[in-house]
Each structure stands twice: as structure tokens, then as C-alpha cells.
């Protein structure tokens, strides 16, 4: 029979191992994107709100690439043409300081991210980990 301290130590070690594995996976995903040619060169991340959640994405990149930065697998394997033809990447957004009455549609594969953008609606084809997936 394990003592109470032993059980706590075991839970802590298990939690630490899970967290370490998650961080390794996160590092791998991040390095895949930062070491690849997927993203256009950037120096900093900018704030964007997506469906009420604040996220940070690379500046000077098209929004669909930013979505890929946030959710590598779902966007990489999603049904997107990446060239403005399918409309599967459509979003609705307004800019910093505006309200939802200013929402306008755009194709995320065609528009560059802007600091403070507020994205209020995503096409049914856009699935972002931790946001709408």
C-alpha cells in the first residue's frame, strides 16, 4: 500500500511527464513552422481576436497562414485552395476600434493579418485547435 505522500509524488511525476510530452510536441510544432518556408518572414507576433479568444500570430502573413500557425494539422489537411478560388477560407471581421456592425467578409488566404483584428465568424471549413475545434 502506498502512503499518501507516495501517491501525491506519483501524481506529480505523472503530471510532469505529461506536461513534458506536451511541451516537446509544442516545440516540435513551433519549430516545424518557424523553420519552414510556410510563413513569410516576421519579427514579432501580433494580437488577434478569434471568436472571442485572444491569440498571437506572426505579423506580415496572410490570415490563413496565421490559422495554420495556430492549428497546423487542421489547416494543412483542410480543404483549401490557397489561391482565392474555393472561398472555403472565408471569414468575417472588423478592425480594432470598430464594432460588429462593421463586420465585413474576406478570404483569409488573400488578406494579411492586422494588429487588433477581431474575427467574428469563420467558414465551416476552418477548424482551429482550442478555438472552434
Binding site for ligand FES (CB under 6 A): 80-82, 84-89, 107, 109
Give min distance, CB of 79 to ligand FES, in A. Answer: 8
Give min distance, CB of 91 to ligand FES, in A. Answer: 10
Give min distance, CB of 74 to ligand FES, in A. Answer: 13
Residue nearest to ligand FES (CB): 109
- The bridge status of strand 118-122 relative to strand 90-94 is antiparallel
For residue 86, give the C-alpha cell.
474555393
Distance CA 107, CA 82 (A): 10
In the bound state with ligand FES, the residue whose beta carbon lies nearer, of 48 and 67, is 67
Strands, E assignment, the chain: 45-50, 53-58, 90-94, 104-107, 118-122
Amino acid at each position: 500500500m502506498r502512503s499518501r505522500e507516495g501517491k501525491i509524488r506519483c501524481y506529480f511525476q505523472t503530471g510532469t511527464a505529461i506536461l513534458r510530452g506536451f511541451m516537446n510536441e509544442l516545440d516540435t510544432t513551433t519549430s516545424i513552422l518557424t523553420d519552414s518556408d510556410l510563413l513569410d518572414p516576421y519579427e514579432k507576433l501580433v494580437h488577434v481576436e478569434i471568436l472571442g479568444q485572444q491569440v498571437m500570430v506572426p505579423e506580415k502573413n496572410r490570415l490563413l497562414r496565421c490559422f495554420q500557425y495556430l492549428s497546423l494539422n487542421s489547416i494543412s489537411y483542410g480543404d483549401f485552395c490557397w489561391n482565392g478560388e474555393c472561398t472555403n477560407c472565408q471569414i468575417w471581421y472588423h478592425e480594432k476600434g470598430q464594432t460588429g456592425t462593421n463586420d465585413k467578409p474576406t478570404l483569409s488566404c488573400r488578406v494579411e493579418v492586422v494588429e487588433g483584428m477581431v474575427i467574428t465568424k469563420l467558414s465551416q471549413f476552418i477548424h482551429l485547435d482550442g478555438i472552434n475545434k
